[in-house]
Structure 1
Amino acid sequence: MPARPIRSTGLCARLRPFWIVLPYVLPWWILVPTLTTLLYQSRLQNDLTQLAVAQSDYVGGRTATLTNALIRLTNDIRLVEHVTRSAHDHLPAPIASERLGRFFGNLLDAHLDYAQVRLLDPACRERLRIERAADGRPTQVPDKDLQDKSRRPYCTKTQALPDGQVYLSPLDANIEFERVVLPLEPVLRIAMRVVQADGTPLGIVVLNYDAAPLLAAFTDHSRTDAALINADGYWLHAPDPADAFGFVTGQHDRRLGVRHPALWAHIRASPRDTGQIRLDSGLWTFRRVAPAGTSAQLHAPIWYVLSQIPPETLAQVRHKQLVAHLALAGTALLALTGLSLALAISRLRQQRTGDALARSNQALAQSLAQLEQSQDDLIRSAKLASLGLMVAGVAHELSTPLGSAMLASGSLKEQLATLEKAFAEGLRRSDMTRFTEAHAAGLALLRDNLQRAARLIHQFKAVAADRATATRHSFDLADTVSDVLALMQNDLKHTRHQVELDIPPGLTLDSYPGPLGQIVQNLISNAVRHGYTDGRVGHIRIVARPKEDQVTLSVIDDGHGIPVEARERIWDPFFTTRRHQGGTGLGLHLCQHMATAVLGGTLTLASAATDQGCEFRLKIPMSAPDKPTVGQASTPHTANTAERTARNTGSPAR
């Protein structure tokens, strides 16, 4: 009893569907999370950048408010100094004091944020003071209530300045009679020396600026994170009002350097006036305001405008983007996984079907192995850089005639078995007649397909022909083309087409006449077979024109041209419009290969307008290259053809 085959039921067989499905699903599970992560990071960075830009604009707006106030203060103190000096230069002292009193009062009427205007004598004692009363109206302080300000910093520092210099005090609390006024009244003092025309010091003019409205401008209705810090790190305006003016209330721990030492160190060390830094406490934006840096005549302190985006806000942005991208990734993975599983199942079914047909393709596998061996030989001859594609294409093309031949062979075998059975049971004439007719048809089918396979293999061998087999010598181009036409006379005499030569006599080339003649022969055969399928009588012109060290040979026909949809594919391998009439799709590829690798030139399609004929243009050097160009590709007329040629591809027929 014959042994029965044992089917594989091991682990590999059970895991086979898994290994088929895995390549379809795994790339998406790698690609989608990777792309989602990159997209998440990009979108998150974009959102954080928008927050940072908005915060920077916000700080810039608060800075502009402070800067504008300082500019107005500087301009107003110069105006006060000019009016004071002019009054005392041109008027007696009592009249000048009266006029200045009215001017100071008008100034307070016009600018509600000025609390006081004073004129101090050279010893820093008040000579004239106009201040805003409780009802808001300007009031002149009686002489008995005028104070000595000689110990105040704004007085001593202004006295030390040259003429024309302006002193701006730090933002401080208002002090009257050596006591801090409560509730706190934030005030800026700007002062300037007044010198009469004869050089006599007149004193100092001082403007007290009520900084409460200015600080209030730092608070936006939509956000309250803006802060104003002095040079010592104390809050002048803070999100928490209890932090403001800690140096006045004695709360020295309410400083930025104590609360956020790393931030304060970064701000102090930064060489730039503006910047941003991200810390555990959030995203901080700062801008240094140094009025003295913009004007050499202004002596002013340094302030810092500061804004914070808390870490909670940054976390919300991250959470929002994370949720959105996780939902996107999940949806994409579900859809792509479903599609991949469907494709994998289809592939699994195809593979199972292919396994069932593997035994019938054993002969084809042997032919493929031989072609792969030929591929190695062709690579060593350096004629095509990517012969692997051609081998696969030839194997694909061989599968049709060889498959048909195998089918015919099997049919003949069945017919023979039928005849033997009929012979054993009693052969009749009708059985023999059916056998003869079927056998003749099967043999014809077998012969046609084997001839087609042999022709395909022969053309493939021609494509892979080594340049070393071609003989190089000097020849006359006109004579060589004439010889080609003479060889084709047997084929051309059955048609009424006319072939016209327009080649200058004496045009000598040092090249390979064999490959050149084969190119011309293939182009003429293409024109005859494909250009006049409608029965018209054709006129084919072969034109050659030399230029410098090159010659251009054109084969021009007046046939019906090449359809638009086929022009993009004429350089593709194994493309033909007459496959069912014996076309293999290697004609033009052979021409292009020889033009490029052997003759060292290019073969292009110059024109192919519908019903206006077709022109192929061969441009080669008059002296062929000494050595084959490994991997060299032809340069077709269009960019698409160039790309195909770079892949070492070509096309057979129109």
Structure 2
Amino acid sequence: MRRNLLMLFVPWAALILLLMVLLYERLLDARLEPLLRDQQNSINEGVGVLNRHLAALRGHVKFLANQPLLARALENPSEENIQALALLFQEFSDSTDTYDRIRWLDEHGNEQVRVDWHDGRAWIRDRAQLQNKAERYFFVETMNLSAGDYYLSRFDLSLDYGAIEEPYKPTLRGATPVFDEAGTRRGIVLLNYLGSALLNRLRQVSQAYGGNLALVDHEGYWLLGERPDDAWGFMLNRPDATLASRYPEGWKRMVAQSGGVFDDHTGYWSFIHFDPLERNGESGEVDGRWLLVAHLSYEQVQGLRFEVIWQVLLFVCVMLTLGLVVVLRLALAEQARDQVQRQLESSGAELQRSNADLQVTVDQLQRTRGALLQAEKLSSLGTLVAGVAHELNTPIGAASVAASTLDRGNQELQQGFREGLQRSMLERFLQRNEEGLAIIIGNLTRMAQLTRAFKQLASDRASTERRTFDLIELVREVLLVFTPKLKQTPHQVDLVIPDTLILDSYPGPLGQILQNLIDNALIHAFEPGFHGVVTVTIERDQARHSCLIEVADNGSGMSEEVLARIFDPFFTTKRGRGGTGLGLHITHQLAVEVLGADLQVISAPGQGTRFRLQLAIGD
């Protein structure tokens, strides 16, 4: 025992400890990699969201500034022209559904046209409600721009009459100066963009990639923060609610670079600077730029580390325990080997008795298998009896009703003889008698046909003798078995067969093969609610002096795994729902061993199943 522990377990333990270190690093990297990839993906998608929304704002400002109605109002600010421009702004606001206010401010800062979004629609403000915005920063800065230039304000909360509107309205103001035909500056066109749509889209991107995405302005204030109460600190008198104050070292690194990835004691960071004015770094300034940041916190990383450590420790414990068990088993095996060697000599007689018992069990299993095969054949014959019995019920019932009707007519005629027979009564009796006899004769003929068909099928199943018969007649007789079942299902059986085809073969086994193949298709091929079609096709091959019998369905088909085992005994996909797994096994035995035919099956998932039986016609 000590020798095995020293020579085997100690080296094994050293190897496991080395693997523990390597495994920890690999597992941690594997767990971090998708999170870091999600960080970068959220940054990339966030940039795309910002570009799309801000490009739409810029385009809408330019579109309204170039409207002919605005140019007409600039030249002639009559009440009619101003009203027409207000209606244009209102229609534009209703169609876009993204602007809180659309305004034209004249060169003195007075609101000449103002359309507000309220209660789900755009409203034109009365002249008495218009304000002067000459002192607001966005008016002053836009008025200093050249023709065609575009101004974008700081992303902040909307103010009305000097107070922050509640509920908060995150707002971006896009503006451009406007000029009359003489080139005189006549004010600005200003759009207050509802930034909630932009921020909500960024939240969706953040949630899709783990909820770590934030939007920060150039001073470090959160526009979309780690927590909802982090945002808009510069407007809510919270100078400490900045990324710069909470993560000063990370903020310094992010300010010094245009974008990148790094990690520190607070976690993993991905960031990129975004210029909402699309200056493409021409001025080199960072004022007005935003920062998209994705942060994987230290707590999240530590949680991953603890999970990986537990996994590695579990692995080490399992492997060390396994090694210890192997060493102990080897030691015990050496100890027991000598005892086993001695016992082998005395166990020969017992082994012979065990072999004899095993042979008895195998013989019993063979007899049981034969009994099950015979039971499956009898079950097939029982289905035949049930089908014919069901079909006989209809003509028997019709004949019985017709006979009862004739009996009543006969009694009425006898009463007429006693009371005085009228000509009309006699004619009516003769007519009913003729119709009733026709019904009885027709249904008795049908019963005779069914009885002959059943007698022939039963005789063929019982005798298994070779004789000359019409294959087409046999197919039609077999189809009688399925008439009751087909009436209870949405499926149908189509026949593509010649008028006659004489064979010299075994009609009993061949009939059972056809019955098993059609029954197998009706049970296994179709999903519930599907209207299936089973097609029986018979073709004569003159060159090979044989015929091809094909049973095909348009059902769900079979996978390669199922297809490889369908002829195995007791294999079924309907275990517990009536399937025994012997139907196709018996079919294959009858086809190959009794008929000497070739039975092939072609199937694929979703493409149905096709059984092809190549059978010699005979002399």
TM-score, length-normalised on structure 1? 0.46
Larger Rg: 1
TM-score, length-normalised on structure 2? 0.48
